[in-house]
């Protein structure tokens, strides 16, 4: 942990916590304090995505609006010392010249891909938003060989594309714009930019999925449970809504995932605002593992103030567990002063 002005209070509170928990030992070493971190990981960190590669590095992205920036680190909870680089800037015109949102970096078929949402600055409206793709065949995604390979050919305009492989099948999920609603759609990928078919898993039906003037479900993320279920966790509401939070679809692992009837939607938020801890609008998450693979972590953004604006979203992380049926238990989003023990097996 770096002792900077911006996190002086958090560090002090962390120290006091450690003092209270370790007072019986008679002292607290510097190493003991460094076993902990406090959120935020990144103060300006909307729509975070964390990818753990086979090289044991985490590759991290967040929304930057007009560009794509990449971080590389042994620890996703410490980006102050991470290597970072702006790898792409939006063009002056075209379908990806504005509103560059929710980038995700993936690696498959020996190739790096970045999926991101964008629109045309001359027509910055929902009906023109699409998921675009960059491709890089270099060993390192930091090499300047990114190629724009166009849009994912989705049935509807939409945002927040994500890729997931399960039982040898590569799936794509996104949030389509259908009328004045945004839902969650699942597809099988035929190529990095083409889809074999699409099925809509659902449109907003719960009140917490509806924020006037638009009912929104977005940011789908796959999650494999430890037992019989696979999940799609999504964000519901709107980024300017304090009640923005997470919902969940579950399906048995042995069912046909492309059959919408295989999926059951939660009737309540599974991760929601916590005013007592000054956490508002927690959502647009991803999932990752600790370096040793033993811990599950949820990475998300949230605001520290009730603002009814999208600004002020910071990147945060906390560990989660599972219930006896193999469903995730995310708990409550904790305050920025809460000392988290760093992910297990961290490599300095």
The verdict on whether 292 is a catalytic residue reads no
Cα–Cα distance between 178 and 200 in angstroms, integer?
10
- Tens digits of residue pLDDT in 136-148: 999 999 998 999 9
Please tell me the total count of domains within the chain: 2
Same domain, 54 and 3: no
Same domain, 164 and 18: no
The verdict on whether 295 is a catalytic residue reads no
Same domain, 175 and 212: yes
| Per-residue pLDDT band at 187 (split at 50, 70, 90) | very high
Query: What's the CATH number where 136 sits?
Result: 2.115.10.20
Active-site choice (160, 218, 241, 296): 218
Q: Count how many residues are written for the chain.
A: 348
Same domain, 20 and 98: no
Same domain, 18 and 89: no
Residue 348 lies in a domain: no
Residue in 186, 204, 321 with CA at minimum distance from that of residue 255? 186
Residue 209 lies in a domain: yes
Cα–Cα distance between 264 and 247 in angstroms, integer?
11
Residue in 343, 347, 341, 345 with CA at minimum distance from that of residue 32? 341
Residue 39 lies in a domain: no
DSSP for residue 209? G
- Tens digits of residue pLDDT in 115-161: 999 999 999 999 999 999 999 999 999 998 999 999 999 999 999 99
The token pair at 169 is 């099948």
Query: What is the span of the domain harbouring residue 21?
Result: 1-34
Cα–Cα distance between 145 and 57 in angstroms, integer?
20
Answer yes or no: are the C-beta atoms of 118 and 81 closer than 8 Å: no
Same domain, 19 and 67: no
Same domain, 141 and 270: yes
Same domain, 240 and 186: yes
- Tens digits of residue pLDDT in 281-331: 999 999 999 999 999 999 999 999 999 899 999 999 999 999 999 999 999
Cα–Cα distance between 50 and 74 in angstroms, integer?
12
Q: What is the CA radius of gyration of the chain?
A: 20
Same domain, 74 and 5: no
Phi, psi of 15 (to 5 degrees): -60, -45
Residue 346 lies in a domain: no
Q: Which residues have C-beta within 8 Å of that of residue 177, sequence separation ≥ 6?
A: 126, 127, 129, 156, 157, 158, 159
The token pair at 149 is 């390979």
- Tens digits of residue pLDDT in 34-60: 799 999 999 999 999 999 999 999 999
pLDDT over 60 at 21, yes or no: no
- Tens digits of residue pLDDT in 79-108: 999 999 999 999 999 999 999 999 999 999
Residue 101 lies in a domain: yes
Output the pLDDT for position 74.
Answer: 96
Same domain, 29 and 61: no
């Amino acid at each position: 942990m770096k002792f900077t002005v911006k996190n002086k209070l958090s560090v002090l509170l962390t120290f006091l916590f450690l003092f209270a928990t370790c007072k019986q030992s008679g002292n607290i070493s510097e190493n003991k304090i460094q076993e902990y971190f406090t959120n935020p990981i990144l103060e300006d960190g909307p729509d975070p995505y964390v990818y753990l590669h086979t090289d044991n590095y985490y590759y991290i992205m967040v929304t930057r609006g007009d560009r794509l920036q990449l971080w590389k680190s042994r620890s996703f909870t410490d980006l102050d010392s991470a290597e970072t680089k702006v790898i792409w800037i939006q063009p002056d015109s075209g379908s990806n010249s504005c509103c560059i949102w929710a980038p995700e970096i993936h690696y498959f078929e020996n190739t790096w891909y970045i999926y991101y949402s964008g629109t045309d600055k001359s027509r910055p409206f929902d009906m023109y938003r699409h998921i675009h793709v960059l491709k890089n065949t270099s060993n390192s995604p930091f090499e300047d060989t990114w190629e724009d390979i166009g849009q994912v050919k989705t049935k509807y305009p939409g945002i927040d594309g994500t890729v997931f492989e399960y039982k040898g099948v590569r799936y794509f999920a996104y949030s389509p714009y259908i009328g004045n609603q945004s839902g969650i759609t699942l597809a099988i990928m035929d190529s990095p930019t083409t889809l074999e078919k699409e099925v809509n898993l659902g449109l907003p039906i719960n009140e917490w999925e509806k924020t006037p003037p638009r009912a929104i479900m977005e940011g789908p993320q796959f999650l494999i449970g430890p037992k019989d279920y696979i999940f799609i966790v999504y964000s519901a509401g709107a980024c300017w809504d304090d009640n923005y939070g997470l919902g969940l679809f579950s399906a048995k692992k042995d069912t046909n995932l492309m059959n919408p009837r295989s999926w059951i939607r939660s009737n309540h938020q599974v991760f929601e605002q916590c005013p007592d801890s000054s956490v508002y609008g927690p959502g647009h998450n991803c999932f990752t593992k600790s370096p040793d693979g033993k811990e599950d972590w949820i990475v998300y953004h949230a605001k520290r103030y009730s603002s009814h604006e999208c600004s002020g979203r910071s990147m945060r992380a906390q560990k989660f567990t599972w219930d006896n049926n193999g469903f995730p238990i995310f708990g409550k989003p904790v305050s920025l002063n809460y000392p988290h023990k760093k992910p297990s097996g961290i490599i300095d």
